[in-house]
Amino acid sequence: MDFMVMTMRKKTFALVFVAGLYLLSGAAHGSEAVTLRHYGLDYPQGVPGDYVYRTPRVFTAEKPENRFSWLWLTGGSKEVMPAETGTQLRLRVRELAAQLLAGSKEPVAGDLRVTVATFVNLDQIYETSALGRYLAEQMLHELQRRGVDVVDVRMMPAMQISKGHGEYALSRDMSELSYVHQADAVVAGTYSVAAGQIFVQARLLENGTGLLLASSSLDFKMDGLVEAMLKDSGQPLPTPIQQVVIEAFPAAKEVVERRRNEK
């Protein structure tokens, strides 16, 4: 008797389960978001209209731009930053460089050798981030494309070759770098964040004297890209500080002094 009751319960449960699946299937057919009759696979070739491939990699043919994402399964959402966001940041650095050269008291392009330092947090002068490193990297590029002689102090005296990895010309390891470079000025920059805005300043300083030759500044609204680049902010480890001497380039220095005397 108990065996018959148990068997009937199992059959009842199975019928209820199948009925539930049927109802869910009918609801899916009636939904605007899911139309089983028009499913397609994320492959170039099409599939029969009545075929359903039961996997999360399925998307509807009406919306071929859709692609699989685990966020569909978790119910989450992810903000996708447009490609223009990076372009806007690059153009802002271009404007910063243009201001710097236009406001210089002395001609820079062709006359001065310049180095570029990493941009740092204005409130914590030894703190920087991916944003600070990018600003310096892009500033180096923008100055060079405007005819400025730029010295990259990260260049090693000799290239290093690592089997299976690549060839390296840049380093931040002081044991691998030259301790003396010849340049007439350095671009030093800072940034600060407040109330959803970021403020960036750059200055061209004469080596040896610290004389301010030119300055520029920008402020713009924080976006997702800048916010992400600021997340890895940090300061150097408390290790002994080593110095790289930036000496004035003799030829360019004579040109600057001669022009000053002529005035």
Of 49-58, 61-70, 217-226, 245-254, give the range with the top mean pLDDT. Answer: 217-226
pLDDT for position 199 = 96
Can you tell me the mean pLDDT for 236-241? 64
Segment among 21-25, 88-92, 160-164 with least mean pLDDT = 21-25
User: Has residue 62 got a pLDDT over 70?
Assistant: no
Give residue 206's region: left, alpha or beta (phi > 0; psi -120 to 50): beta
Domains in the chain: boundaries: 2-74, 84-234+244-253
Would you say the pTM of this structure is higher than 0.85? no
CA pair distance 204, 214, nearest whole angstrom: 5
Phi, psi angles (nearest 5°) of residue 146:
-100, 15
The set of residues, in sequence order, having a beta carbon less than 8 Å from that of 156 and lying 6+ positions away, is: 168, 169, 170, 171, 176, 177, 178
Q: Which residues pair with 205 in a beta bridge?
A: 186, 212
Q: Using DSSP, state whether 205 is helix, strand or coil.
A: strand
- State the architecture of 84-234+244-253 in CATH terms: 3-Layer(aba) Sandwich (3.40)
Question: For residues 65 and 143, which has the higher predicted lDDT (pLDDT)?
Answer: 143
- Helix (H) / strand (E) containing 89: helix 84-102
Reported as a pLDDT band with limits 50, 70 and 90, residue 111 is: confident
User: Has residue 202 got a pLDDT over 80?
Assistant: yes
User: Has residue 63 got a pLDDT over 60?
Assistant: no
Can you tell me the mean pLDDT for 53-61? 42
Query: Distance between alpha carbon 12 and the CA centroid of its chain, in Å?
Result: 59
pLDDT for position 173 = 84
Can you tell me the mean pLDDT for 60-71? 48
